[in-house]
Amino acid sequence: MASAAVVILASSLALQGYVSNGHVWASRSVPYHVNPVNADLPESEVDAAMRAGADAWGAQSHASFAFTYAGRTSGTSMGYNRKNEVFFRNESNGSVIAETLWTYDGTGALVDADIKFYDSGWRFFTGTSGCSGGYYIEDIAAHEFGHALGLGHSGDGTATMYPSASSCTQALRTLAADDIAGVEALYPATTATAPAAPSTLTASASATAPSSAVNLRWTDNSNNEAAFLVERATGGGSYLQVASLGANATTYADQNLLPSTTYTYRVRASNAAVFSGYTNAASATTTGQAAPAVPTAVSPASGATNVSLDADLSWSCVGAQQYDVYFGTASAPALYASNLTSASQSLPRLAASTTYYWKVVGKNGAGSTAGAVWQFTTKAARAKKR
């Protein structure tokens, strides 16, 4: 595998016309996940703004390509894990507003792309009003998703892929002719036949986690789908895509839901950015809330050694709505952060050859549940050559 990165800068560069980074996705329907935790905005607004930026490339062109929103993630690190993730980091990097890292395989096909917004260096906004001295996520996301699909910086000053952006611009969310020419050159319009629509969708509260999970089942009626896309509406709200599943999938478990809440679902198939019709709508209501499950460590794993000095913490806790994190070098670690809404915690650079201890307490309206004290040891410092 090989990786490359592109950044959007607040200073200008001299380029000519649209540019390809030399790699494209083999699939024409590419899922991505968003970690909406940030310093400026409600998480729901971030989700919607990221989707608007990603959708621009499929909705505003005739390219046979579309990004598909696949729900939230706790990821905060750039790197190859075959999960395309968008997130904020409490960091700054000079004039860089956001950065995209992509990975391609031995055939040259893109297999992973991550987008990082520099949350410490800039203030972010959403929508069409209220911006002052910062940037709208819709516009910066549109630029970065252009990199993620295979475009480099353009020399056309009107293009979304131009390498500089004015504060509070709303121009990047609308593709210019140069952007459209670029994406359509990478992903020419397809004549693919749309898959047959799936049918007989059913939804029911999970037997093992009825207050926080719903199980879906449907019938696969096609033989040419690349993916099944699951969409969810809460109450009387609009549908949002929450999962992108592989071909032949007929079930999905939707987890980390709210208790005593009605969710409505629909499913469609896709193939080369061509979509089937939807299933019937199916609804299920979760039961009253129970205390969270016992938290489990995700990264670093408990007992891990030779851990990177740049490691961050992530965990899993079914049913939790907030988290308290205990962290330090004492075997009974002190409280480090409280009332987090994402199952991850960024850390400063760690000391070499040091054992750290950490614990997570998951919380919701029904109570709290503490996990075990986990530990990991960082790798040794590299000796300097003389």
The string of pLDDT tens digits covering residues 146-187 is: 999 999 999 999 999 999 999 999 999 999 999 999 999 999
**What share of the chain has pLDDT > 70, as a percent?**
94
pTM of this prediction? 0.60
Q: What is the pLDDT, as a whole number, of residue 11? A: 35
Quick one: three-class SS letters along the chain? CEEEEEEEECCCCCCCCCCECCCCECCCEEEEEECCCCCCCCHHHHHHHHHHHHHHHHHCCCCCCEEEEEEECCCCCCCCCCCCEEEEECCCCCCEEEEEEEEECCCCCEEEEEEEEECCCCCEECCCCCCCCCEEHHHHHHHHHHHHHCECCCCCCCCCCCCCCCCCCCCCCCCCHHHHHHHHHHCCCCCCCCCCCCEEEEEEECCCCCCCCEEEEEECCCCCCCEEEEEEEECCCCCEEEEEEECCCCEEEECCCCCCCEEEEEEEEEECCEECCCCCCEEEECCCCCCCCCCEEEECCCCEEEECCCCCEEEECCCCCEEEEEEECCCCCCEEEEEECCCEECCCCCCCCCEEEEEEEEEECCEEEECCCEEEEECCCCCCCC
Q: pLDDT for 233-246, tens place per residue?
A: 888 777 888 888 88
Q: pLDDT for 189-247, tens place per residue?
A: 877 788 999 999 999 999 888 888 999 999 999 999 988 999 998 887 778 888 888 89
Domains with residue ranges and CATH for the chain: 2-186 (3.40.390.10), 199-285 (2.60.40.10), 296-378 (2.60.40.10)
**What share of the chain has pLDDT > 90, as a percent?**
68
* Mean pLDDT across 142-149: 96
Q: pLDDT for 4-59, tens place per residue?
A: 555 554 433 444 578 888 899 988 889 899 999 999 999 889 988 999 999 999 88
